[in-house]
């Protein structure tokens, strides 16, 4: 279980052990406060420029005059800016107009223009026309002036095209845009699959740094497990360390213990952990630079040794992850991956995880590779490409069983196979020796 030595100037050698140091104890390193605009070993100017160029290349190929982005994740991808992220996940107040060629215009929340105005990917900041319109029931009044302003931008900088891609909006705003002569296209899926699916080299560096922060948070949880501590307390330990490491937030609350590990997808509660019980978690972390870190581990609360049943569950989950990582190579069809995936024993099939693996970027992304038994329902066509990042999943738990095991690792597809991004060790007590 080798762990590489951390060199702060080399993102290829990011070590979660070094990330765990605390300044109160006199340590030199205490987390990494990293964002899209802070100086670091990530070339953030290049990061922003390459992502925007990928978006614009797709726009040109599809004859879009521009896109209008409301989703904070897409905004960050295209421009490297963020502002009150959680708030704008539910309030479509902040939006970007990005032409196929020309000035990028941000329509921002009043009095917050300074947050993004100095970034090289933002040419102009204007007040949003949609501030509080939906929550105050004024969408019908604001839709027309909003649409007129966007249509004017498209006419001026859309290179003759009135085709506008949008990732989300209300129907009133879309109708108002159409009334101004705009061809409105729902482009959310294409942005995810055709623009964001393959990562640039700088994005992969961001994923590595983000992963090291998430691993440090999981290490803190592992160290804090003891009889009598609650799931909520452990989740707070993880969240604290994510923030200390320069991360931003955790999308889920998937940290459970004992009987609550089976079935999966229960959320952290006030339940107190007892000796000998399993503790399972999924990181689901929006970490450094806004990049997702998604791996899972299962631990055991001491003292004593794992039971035969616990070892059996753990070893099967480990085998599933290892096998499914081993088959991955560029050029495989998504269906081929599903066909060659580890065969889940019948008694665990009902409670299988929802996918064999899924994409990772700024959140859970494309591709979504379904189990073969689910392929007619959830399966999608596509090809594994170099630069895609994937989280390889396993949950093993028998219906009605006492406990379950959740394991998951994150990899990036290379020209010849995979590189492992998640380096957190597995638990030797489950894997060593006989059952």
Q: How many domains does the chain have?
A: 2
Reported as type and span, the H/E element at residue 418 is: strand 418-420
Residue 40: predicted pLDDT: 63
Answer whether 341's CB lies under 8 Å from 355's CB: no
Scanning 1-43, the segments in alpha helix (DSSP H) are: 16-19
Cβ atoms within 10 A of the Cβ of 268, count? Answer: 22
User: Is 250 in the same domain as 146?
Assistant: no
3-state secondary structure of 6: coil
- pLDDT of 4 higher than 50: no
| 21 occurs within a structural domain | no
- Where b means 16+ CB within 10 Å and e means fewer, 340-349 reads bbbebeeebe
The Cα 429–Cα 435 span in angstroms is 11
81 bridge partner residues: none
The Cα 261–Cα 251 span in angstroms is 19
User: Is 390 in the same domain as 299?
Assistant: yes
Cβ atoms within 10 A of the Cβ of 245, count? Answer: 28
pLDDT tens readout for residues 235-268 = 999 999 999 988 999 999 999 999 999 999 999 9
Lowest mean pLDDT among 14-28, 105-119, 215-229: 14-28
Whether the upstream peptide bond of residue 367 has omega within 30° of 0, thus cis, is yes
User: Is 100 in the same domain as 172?
Assistant: yes
User: Is 167 in the same domain as 267?
Assistant: no
User: Is 286 in the same domain as 263?
Assistant: yes
Residue of 61, 57, 157, 43 lying closest to 104 (CA atoms): 157
Pairing, β 418-420 against β 405-413 = antiparallel
Residue of 191, 187, 198 lying closest to 390 (CA atoms): 198
User: Is 141 in the same domain as 171?
Assistant: yes
Residue 384: predicted pLDDT: 97
Measured over the CA atoms of residue 165, residue 168, residue 174 and residue 176, the dihedral's sign is negative
Residues in the chain: 435
Q: Calculate ∠ Cα 230-394-322, nearest 5°.
A: 125
pLDDT tens readout for residues 69-82 = 999 999 999 999 99
User: Is 166 in the same domain as 215?
Assistant: no
The Cα 106–Cα 323 span in angstroms is 46
- pLDDT of 431 higher than 90: yes
pLDDT tens readout for residues 217-238 = 999 999 999 999 999 999 999 9
The Cα 228–Cα 16 span in angstroms is 27
Final residue in a domain of this structure, among 164, 195, 226: 195
The Cα 317–Cα 314 span in angstroms is 5
Range of the domain at 128: 44-195
| 373 occurs within a structural domain | yes
The Cα 259–Cα 263 span in angstroms is 8
| 1 occurs within a structural domain | no
| 17 occurs within a structural domain | no
Residues with Cβ within 8 Å of residue 352, at least 6 apart in sequence: 344, 371, 395
pTM attached to this predicted model = 0.91
Return the higher-pLDDT residue of 6 and 352.
Answer: 352
The Cα 413–Cα 350 span in angstroms is 30
**Phi, psi dihedrals of residue 186, rounded to the nearest 5°:** -75, 105
| 405 occurs within a structural domain | yes
User: Is 240 in the same domain as 385?
Assistant: yes
Q: For residue 389, give the CATH number of its domain.
A: 3.90.230.10
pLDDT tens readout for residues 130-166 = 887 666 677 778 899 999 999 999 999 999 999 999 9
Answer whether 413's CB lies under 8 Å from 328's CB: yes
The Cα 248–Cα 239 span in angstroms is 9
The Cα 353–Cα 355 span in angstroms is 6
Q: What is the mean pLDDT of the chain?
A: 90
Cα atoms found within 13 Å of the Cα of residue 43, Cβ hemisphere only? 8
| 10 occurs within a structural domain | no
User: Is 106 in the same domain as 248?
Assistant: no
The Cα 100–Cα 238 span in angstroms is 41
User: Is 191 in the same domain as 207?
Assistant: no
Final residue in a domain of this structure, among 175, 195, 215: 195
User: Is 184 in the same domain as 232?
Assistant: no
Reported as type and span, the H/E element at residue 358 is: strand 357-360
Q: For residue 181, give the CATH number of its domain.
A: 3.40.350.10
| 403 occurs within a structural domain | yes
User: Is 372 in the same domain as 245?
Assistant: yes
Residue 30: predicted pLDDT: 46
Final residue in a domain of this structure, among 195, 220, 240: 195
Residue 38: predicted pLDDT: 54
| 71 occurs within a structural domain | yes
């Amino acid at each position: 279980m080798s762990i590489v030595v951390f060199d702060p100037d080399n993102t290829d050698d990011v070590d979660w052990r070094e990330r765990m140091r605390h300044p109160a104890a006199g340590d030199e390193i205490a987390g990494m406060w990293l964002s899209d605009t802070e100086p670091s070993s990530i070339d953030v100017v290049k990061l922003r420029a390459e992502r925007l160029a990928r978006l614009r290349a797709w726009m040109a190929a599809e004859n879009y005059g521009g896109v209008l982005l409301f989703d904070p994740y897409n905004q960050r991808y295209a421009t490297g800016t963020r502002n009150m992220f959680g708030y704008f996940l539910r309030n479509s107040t902040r939006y970007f107009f990005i032409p196929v060629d020309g000035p990028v215009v941000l329509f921002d929340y009043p009095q917050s223009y300074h947050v993004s105005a100095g970034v090289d990917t933002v040419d102009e900041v204007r007040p949003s026309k949609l501030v509080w319109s939906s929550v105050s029931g004024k969408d019908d009044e604001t839709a027309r002036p909003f649409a007129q302003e966007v249509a004017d931008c498209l006419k001026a900088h859309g290179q003759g095209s009135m085709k506008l891609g949008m990732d989300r909006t209300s129907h009133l705003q879309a109708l108002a845009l159409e009334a101004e002569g705009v061809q409105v296209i729902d482009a959310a899926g294409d942005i995810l699959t055709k623009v964001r699916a393959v990562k640039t080299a700088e994005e992969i560096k961001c994923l590595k740094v983000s992963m090291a922060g998430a691993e440090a948070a999981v290490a803190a949880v592992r160290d804090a497990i003891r009889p009598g501590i609650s799931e909520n307390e452990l989740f707070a330990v993880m969240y604290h360390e994510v923030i200390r490491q320069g991360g931003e937030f955790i999308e889920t609350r998937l940290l459970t213990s004992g009987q609550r590990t089976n079935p999966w997808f229960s959320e952290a509660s006030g339940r107190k952990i007892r000796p000998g019980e399993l503790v399972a978690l999924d990181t689901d972390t929006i970490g450094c630079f806004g990049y997702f870190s998604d791996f899972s581990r299962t631990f055991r609360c001491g003292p004593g040794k794992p039971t035969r049943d616990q070892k059996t569950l753990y070893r099967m989950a480990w085998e599933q992850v290892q096998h499914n990582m081993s088959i991955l190579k560029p050029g495989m069809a998504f269906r081929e991956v599903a066909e060659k995936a580890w065969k889940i024993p019948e008694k665990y099939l009902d409670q299988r995880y929802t996918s064999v693996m899924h994409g990772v970027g700024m959140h859970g992304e494309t591709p979504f590779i379904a189990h073969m038994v689910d392929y007619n329902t959830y399966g999608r066509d596509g090809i594994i490409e170099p630069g895609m990042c994937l989280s390889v999943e396993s949950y093993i738990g028998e219906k009605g069983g006492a406990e379950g095991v959740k394991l998951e690792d994150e990899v990036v597809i290379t020209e010849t196979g995979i590189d492992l991004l998640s380096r957190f060790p597995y638990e030797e007590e489950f894997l060593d020796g006989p059952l």
